[in-house]
Chain A
Amino acid sequence: MKDVELKMLERAKELLASGEVARVVGWKKGDFCYDPSPAVFKTVEELENGFVYDYFCGANLSKYLIDVSKKEGKTAVFLKPCDTYSFNQLVKEHRIKRENVYVIAVECMAKLDIEKIKAKGVSFVTGVEVVEKDVKVSSLYGETTLYKPEIVLEKCAVCNKTHQVKDEEIILHERPVRDVNRFAEVEKLEAMTEDERFAFWKEQLSKCIRCNACRNVCPACSCIKCVFDNPNSGIAAKANDSEFEEKMFHIIRAYHVAGRCTDCGECSRVCPQNIPLHLLNRKFIKDMDGLYGEYQAGESSEGKTPLTSYTEEDKEPNDVFNGEAK
């Protein structure tokens, strides 16, 4: 990973120095080793002082391009495979000006989830070193070796994505293609009874503090003004003052991104309450795949989504159950 980071830094510096791009969107070191954050670098110095690319750089940078691509001059951005889907989707929705962005596809090799590391009893992490499937985690209390598949981000655990867009690439290692079923958790819920599902979501969603982190990070939730902030929408609310509103917010959010959600998993990654929000979006994805044919948002920057198309033979709503028609 270090070799990749060096190459990226070198390339970013080169692009800025030559004036080919006016800025670079990448990840910046945080206060701790596990909290790098998205950042816009405008000078070589800024890059030298803060640029980072490691196993904690899970953040999806696509959404930042909505604003940045409107600015004067070109912007270079580093995109992991999953991020390119969001990028394409935003290009399709005319939110990103493609001609103003220079996309550097970078390898991923799966990112780590600090929450999962903490859950393994390791806190005050100071650094990690990954060798194949072993992760040597150093902390203030010493060093522990963890099994990587158990501590990667949810989105990485079920990822089989490949770069959908690139102007150039920095890929030094190939991630092997694996056989994963991203709908396994959804299927588990579907197999439950109605009452069990209700209880599950009631418990999960009652944790919601309506901090809007999911909305703010979501590349599909990029409306200039969200319906929940618009007093004219009839559903505007700032806080969950009832059980209903918790549901309302998440149902509407899932519905609004249905067909546009690329399953980038950012919502779950940033949720401070660890609500498995991706299971909401994945339900829509699974149902639409089952009912209307497989569709991956962001695979193309053109075309219609399943909910803005139809066929004369579509299944009747009353007959649909668990994404399958009776």
Chain B
Amino acid sequence: MQRIGVFICWCGSNIAATVDVEKVAEVIKSEPGVVYSANYQYMCSENGQQLIKQAIKEHNLTGVVVGACSPRMHEATFRKAAEEAGLNPYMVEIANIREHCSWIHKDMDEATEKAVILVRTAIAKVKLNAPLTAGESPVVKRALVIGGGIAGIQAALDIADAGFEVDIVEKNATIGGRMAQLDKTFPTLDCSACILTPKMVDCAQHEKIDILSYSEVEDVKGFVGNFSVKIRRKARFVDETKCTGCKICMEKCPSKKGLNEFNMNLNTRPAIYIPFAQAIPNVAVIDPTQCIKMKTGKCGICQKFCGVGAIDYEQKDTFIERQYGAIVVATGFKPIALDNFNEYGYADNKDVITSLELERLMNAAGPTNGVLLRPSDGEHPKVVTFIQCVGSRDTSGCGKPYCSKICCMYTAKHAMMIREKYPDTEVHVFYIDVRTPGKNYDEFYRRAVEQYGVDYIKGMVGKVYNENGKLMVQGSNLIDNEQITIESDLVVLATAIEPEPSVRKVATLLTASIDTNNFLTESHAKLRPVESPTAGVYLAGVCQGPKDIPETVSQASACAAKVIGLLVKDKLKTNPCVASPDENMCNGCSQCANVCAYGAITYIDKEFRLGGGKTEIRRVASVNPAVCQGCGACTVTCPSGAMDLKGFSSKQIMSEVEAICKM
């Protein structure tokens, strides 16, 4: 026999002013199964909780209903109180008589009547509640960071410093990412490599960090605390353990016509190469599409000259499988392709370049050794025109609808750097809006205008065309309301950025959700900005949304804090309100697995006893309670009703429906 206790809260006057709480408590006394009913000013207070605990003990309550504020507010409080009194916490149900009743109704009779119905509904449900126990799952104390840019590096260092093992999987031959390609960084104009490369070295030297460069995630299984990840280590045709990074191979390689990706294809590199001087690991890699030996079988010069015998033309991709407790996604970004923006003449004019290309042209280690020379003829440009928002804030469908966020600042940086180094050069900037919020950011932009005399023109550019070797930039000046044409030597496009395309595959493998622009979705835009909705997966850097270096580093450290918080636990408590199939009714049809967003459902062959000593093997669904998030999608897709959800069972919901309708 059920023994239900009902506790009606006044919430001061919040409930009691509109709901006759004493009357509710009185009427409910006669409900079948109710053995105790009380009301109190503040049920959530120490005294209120004491009242519940005492009643549980004195009246041997089997279930508790609290008529109070929203369960989103104090359900956890009352469950904890029940648990302390020896009752299973899941034997508590809340009737929301504040937000859903007293606060929205003015008439006391009406509100009181509704409160009674809501309490009866909760009683109907609690009668069908079953004690639930949170399960436990172990935590593998190792983290995986996907992407070795500044986001991945920072997250890995912070996690490793807390004492946990971290693997960085980087698809390129070196870590460093986009930041390694930058010349200077705003708003302080310090050299990007000078602040990044020490961190790269720290990673390499950290005893807890394992860098898996030239590698990609192939497959992910498991769940929070216990992911099993298969990693492809792509063949680099150089033995990583032997190569000393002496670069003799690069010198001797006869095939030097490969495009240098690190320098944005502005110059060339040999078939065997180390992407840049400070690469980590400092190990060569062979581009098999360019290597003469691998294409024709003849050559082998690098092998001949390699003093340590590191060259291996026969090397194959290998796979490793490792276990992780948490995964950080830090896959970064790339500038968008400019195929849809013919009006800027990027494809036709060598001297129309992107901002990232300009970074390389300004960099001392770049193709021009840091001297700003135009790509077409190697001359110093005298007039440089920047065009902002190329493909950003573009709702025409050609570009991206969002603001890329970093362009206003780096364009100001570029303009300033050119004016600083070459005071005789004229610099113009076309902009729609200048957006520079942030510490010392607006000051930085104003310096470009006020101190460095950069000519900012509010207006859009309609066309860039070549006339007698000059780039004519035709645009509007909205302030003076006129059409203008600027004769320029170099045009720089502040190209929109987009998530690195490989993120889609990563998101699919991780069942992490992704938005229409391919940015990974955070669990909550404000309150859980570094967690993916998939438990155990965290997001750092531009893969989650456009951001600059300081923001990326902050987010990466936030990620690390979340990961550390997870990895310090030995075991995770799992949500007990999960799906669970009645194996006797399960058809094994797979419909439920088809709608599970978490891959929580698998199938097992199970032996069932039939009558007369006979047995039968049947395929039945099996839910991993550590992975199931308890949405219930599977329960509705199950035709036989074998799949049900603990805490929100079909019977419970139907009894609530009945209680509401029958009144």
Contact = CB atoms under 8 A, between A and B. Distances in A.
A207 interface: no
A233 interface: yes
Contacts of A70: 616
Nearest to A225: B585
A305 B586 CA distance: 19
Majority SS of interface residues in chain A? loop
A312 B515 CA distance: 10
Interface in A258-287: 260
A70 B614 CA distance: 13
Contacts of A95: 587-589
B26 to A, nearest CB: 31
Interface string A198-227: 000000000000000000000010111111
A260 B655 CA distance: 30
B54 interface: no
Contacts of B588: 93-95
Contacts of A309: 594
B290 interface: no
Contact of A223 (B587, B603, B619, B651): B587
A308 interface: yes
Most chain A CB atoms below 10 A, which of B637, B639, B640: B639
Interface string B237-258: 0000000000000000000000
B641 A233 contact: yes
Interface string B645-656: 000001100110
B584 interface: yes
A70 B607 CA distance: 13
Interface string B623-663: 00000000000000101111000000011001100000000
A232 B651 contact: yes
A11 interface: no
A304 B650 CA distance: 25
B639 A224 contact: no
Nearest to B657: A234
Contact of A224 (B594, B603, B640, B650): B640
B595 interface: yes
Nearest to A228: B641
B268 interface: no
Contacts of B640: 223-227, 230
A257 interface: yes
Interface residues of B, number: 23
A227 B639 CA distance: 8
Interface string B483-519: 0000000000000000000000000000000001000
Interface string B572-601: 000000000000111111110011000000
Nearest to B603: A94
Interface string A70-87: 100000000000000000
B641 A304 contact: no
A297 to B, nearest CB: 12
20 contacts: A92-B590, A93-B589, A93-B591, A94-B590, A95-B589, A222-B587, A224-B586, A224-B587, A225-B584, A227-B640, A227-B641, A230-B585, A230-B640, A230-B641, A232-B651, A233-B641, A257-B639, A305-B591, A308-B594, A312-B516
Contacts of B651: 232, 234
Q: Which 9 A/B pairs are nearest by Cβ-Cβ distance?
A: A93-B589, A223-B640, A234-B654, A308-B594, A256-B639, A227-B641, A225-B585, A233-B641, A304-B594
Contacts of A131: none
Contacts of B642: 225
A92 B589 CA distance: 8
B639 A223 contact: yes
A94 B619 contact: yes
B603 to A, nearest CB: 8
Contacts of A222: 587
A308 B590 CA distance: 10
Nearest to A256: B639
Contacts of A227: 639-641
A324 B650 CA distance: 31
A177 interface: no
Interface string A240-257: 000000000000000011
A307 interface: yes
A41 B655 CA distance: 49
Contacts of A233: 641, 650
Contacts of A305: 591, 594
A308 B639 contact: no
A308 B591 contact: yes
A222 B641 CA distance: 13
A308 to B, nearest CB: 4
Nearest to B655: A234
Most chain B CB atoms below 10 A, which of A94, A226, A234: A234
Contacts of A234: 650-651, 654-655
Nearest to A307: B637
Contacts of A92: 590
Most chain B CB atoms below 10 A, which of A70, A94, A260, A309: A94
A233 B639 CA distance: 11
B616 A224 contact: no
Contacts of A223: 585, 587, 639-640
Contacts of A307: 637
